């Protein structure tokens, strides 16, 4: 009999399922090496225009106006520390959001659905694969930007920044579970993923401080983990950085973690039973 419920045996079994799903994705990805290389350098390609555009706007690397807003004028370090999270937003809205739809493309969705494994394990397996993949992309981004422009980062701030990053990822995983439930209902769900990715990019202080956004957008950014996470990470990583929004980043992120994970799982469970009851899961 298969283990089930909140038992150690079941937890071990689900962990194995998550790992197996992650390994399966790696095998598929590495079967197309050109595609793997392209996807790994893609974040760098989309980061460069932000930096070059910034350099052209102010005719150099240091912006007096940015200095007034956040206490640092180094636009290269500022944009780099913001843009590294974009790939992880992709983990949430693309990799996790599309996990179920992808199985449908492969023709394996029904087979996977009848296995005695939690559906969430598929989604989390995709999240793990994407996290590792994005780690490679961030390493490439860091190497390229460090070699071309040099980066002024505080080494001692890396550890606390990683703690903040981990808290952000927990909330993004909850958000990704929520997006995955959309993909079960909407067959053209890629537009939702692209839409959420673009909206999160605008609402997050990736290339500009939150204070330049209209106040309604600033309020909306509080709902997503990327804004407090970026403010917190920059506080530790950039010398003299002054947070544009005051408040305890750790508490904010913990609250968002709990909220997004609970909300994501509830919506996912409701959608899962709804599509199975309607028999629309296998519809293409």
Partner 1 sequence: MTTQSLEMYSFKANLQIVWSEVVKNFKFLMAYPVIFVFWTIFPFLWFIPFVFQGQAFVGSLQSAEFEKFAGTPDYIPFIVIGAILNGYVLTSLYGVGESIRREAYRGTLDYLLSSPCNKAFILIGKALSESINSTIYAAIQLAVGIFLFGIEITIGIILPTVLIIFLLILGLYGISLMLAGVSLQFKQAHDVAHTLEYVFYVFSPVRYPLGSLPFWAQVIGRLLPLTYALVAVRSIMLLKQNIMGLYQEIFLLLIMDIVAILLGFYLFNWMEKRTKSSGAISHY
The binding site for partner 1 (CB under 8 A) comprises 32, 34-35, 38, 42, 45-46, 48-50, 52-60, 63-66, 68-69, 75, 79, 188, 191, 194-195, 198-199, 201-202, 206-209, 212-213
Any alpha helices (H) in the chain, and if so which ranges?
A: 8-30, 33-58, 64-70, 75-83, 86-90, 99-106, 109-113, 119-148, 158-185, 190-203, 215-221, 226-237, 249-278
Cβ contacts of residue 220 below 8 Å, gap of 6+?
203
Minimum distance from CB of 28 to partner 1 (Å)?
13
Tell me whether residue 50 or residue 260 sits nearer to partner 1 (CB atom). Answer: 50
> Residue 178: helix, strand or coil by DSSP?
helix
Residue with tokens 């039973």: 273
Tell me whether residue 111 or residue 198 sits nearer to partner 1 (CB atom). Answer: 198
Minimum distance from CB of 213 to partner 1 (Å)?
6
Minimum distance from CB of 89 to partner 1 (Å)?
13
Residue 230 has which token pair?
């970026």
Tell me whether residue 4 or residue 38 sits nearer to partner 1 (CB atom). Answer: 38
Tell me whether residue 21 or residue 137 sits nearer to partner 1 (CB atom). Answer: 137
Minimum distance from CB of 72 to partner 1 (Å)?
12
Minimum distance from CB of 59 to partner 1 (Å)?
3
DSSP string, 69-119: HHS--BHHHHHHHHHTTHHHHHIIIIIITTHHHHHHHHT-HHHHHTSSS-H
Minimum distance from CB of 67 to partner 1 (Å)?
10
Tell me whether residue 178 or residue 208 sits nearer to partner 1 (CB atom). Answer: 208
Tell me whether residue 57 or residue 258 sits nearer to partner 1 (CB atom). Answer: 57
Strand-pair partners of 62: 74
Q: Cβ atoms within 10 A of the Cβ of 248, count?
A: 11
């Amino acid at each position: 009999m298969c283990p089930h419920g909140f038992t150690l045996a079941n937890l071990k079994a689900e962990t194995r399922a998550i790992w197996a799903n992650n390994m399966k994705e790696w095998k598929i990805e590495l079967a197309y090496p050109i595609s793997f290389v392209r996807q790994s350098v893609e974040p760098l390609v989309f980061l460069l225009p932000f930096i070059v555009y910034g350099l052209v706007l102010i005719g150099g690397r240091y912006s007096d106006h940015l200095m007034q807003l956040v206490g640092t004028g180094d636009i290269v370090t500022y944009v780099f520390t913001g843009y590294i999270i974009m790939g992880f937003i992709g983990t949430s809205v693309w990799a996790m959001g599309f996990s179920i739809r992808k199985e449908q493309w492969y023709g394996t969705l029904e087979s996977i659905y009848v296995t005695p494994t939690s559906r969430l394990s598929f989604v989390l397996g995709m999240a793990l694969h994407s996290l590792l993949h994005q780690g490679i992309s961030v390493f490439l981004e860091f190497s390229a930007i460090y070699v071309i422009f040099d980066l002024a980062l505080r080494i001692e701030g890396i550890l606390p920044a990683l703690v903040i990053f981990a808290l952000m990822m927990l909330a993004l995983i909850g958000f990704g579970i929520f997006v995955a439930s959309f993909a079960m209902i909407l067959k053209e769900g890629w537009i939702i993923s692209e839409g959420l990715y673009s909206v999160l990019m605008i609402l997050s202080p990736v290339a500009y401080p939150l204070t330049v956004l209209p106040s309604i957008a600033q309020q909306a950014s509080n709902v997503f983990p990327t804004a407090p996470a970026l403010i917190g990470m920059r506080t530790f990583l950039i010398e003299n950085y002054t947070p544009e929004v005051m408040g305890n980043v750790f508490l904010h992120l913990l609250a968002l973690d709990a909220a997004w994970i609970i909300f994501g799982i509830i919506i996912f469970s409701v959608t899962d039973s709804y599509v199975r009851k309607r028999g629309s899961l296998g519809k293409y």
